[in-house]
Amino acid sequence: MTTSEGIILIDSGYDYSAKELITDGLKKLKLDPAQIKYVILTHVHGDRFYGAPYLQKTYNARVIMSEADWNAMAKTNDPAELKPKKDMVATDGMKLTLGDTTLTLYITPGHTPGTVSVLVPLKDGNERHVGAVWGGINPDVGRNGVRYFANMEETFKTWSASAKRFQDIAAKANADVYLTLHPFYDKALDKLHALNFRKPGGPHPFVSKDNLNRFLTIIRECTEAQLASISS
């Protein structure tokens, strides 16, 4: 996210790709990586936080994650040098403001104990939109030496409740853009390609309130079906 006073990143990627994808990538977009002020970590998995120490050391970026996931990180068997120093704690409904832009963070456990999902203000020319970042794509009982939940039933129940709640939050905010953590879930690469051929005044390939609602409904109903099968 570019703002009037700097850049906010959501997740950092892996350590080995941080310089190429973030530093070099921002430069290719004519942006200054030294303007990175905040890094929101959606959850305590290596593909989200391994690059964060690089951003802390290189740009003095503030790193934000939920208390539950900071605590989980302290117990994982991930290499110590790839764990960022504990910094800011995300809380449910937290407003993160940088310059002219305010993001809203929500705690949506299920993928990890304290997964963070985010509502992001967006603009397309003079049109305003709201993006929804669902922080945990699927239920996960534990990883890297840490058990998040007692069993799969508890995991599915927790995750499903979070998905339903965030779906309601997104609907009330009139969110109409799904911003995925993994591009193969929403054909993000196809949409980027389509954006290159967008005609003036034509629809934006990322904008669709129906697509966002349908995605959140499908993943929630699939999880509820899995829960029913293990509960029966």
**pTM for the full model?**
0.95
The per-residue pLDDT for range 6-62, each reduced to its tens digit, is 999 999 999 999 999 999 999 999 999 999 999 999 999 999 999 999 999 999 999
Range 206-214 average pLDDT: 91
**Based on the number of CB atoms within 10 Å of its own CB, is 201 exposed (0-12), middle (13-18) or buried (19 or more)?**
exposed
* Percentage of the chain modeled with pLDDT above 90: 87
Report pLDDT for 201: 87
The per-residue pLDDT for range 159-190, each reduced to its tens digit, is 999 999 999 999 999 999 999 888 888 888 99
Range 93-119 average pLDDT: 98
> Cα separation of 24 and 71, whole Å?
32
* Percentage of the chain modeled with pLDDT above 70: 100
Report pLDDT for 187: 87
Report pLDDT for 1: 96
The per-residue pLDDT for range 78-103, each reduced to its tens digit, is 999 999 999 999 999 999 999 999 99
Report pLDDT for 17: 97
Give the residue among 111, 103, 120, 69 at the shortest CA–CA distance from 219: 111
| Residue partners of 223: CB distance under 8 A and separation at least 6 | 138, 139, 156, 159, 160, 163
Report pLDDT for 232: 64
Cβ–Cβ under 8 Å, residues 167 and 160:
no
Mean pLDDT of the residues in the chain? 95
Structural domains in the chain, sorted by start: 2-231 (3.60.15.10)
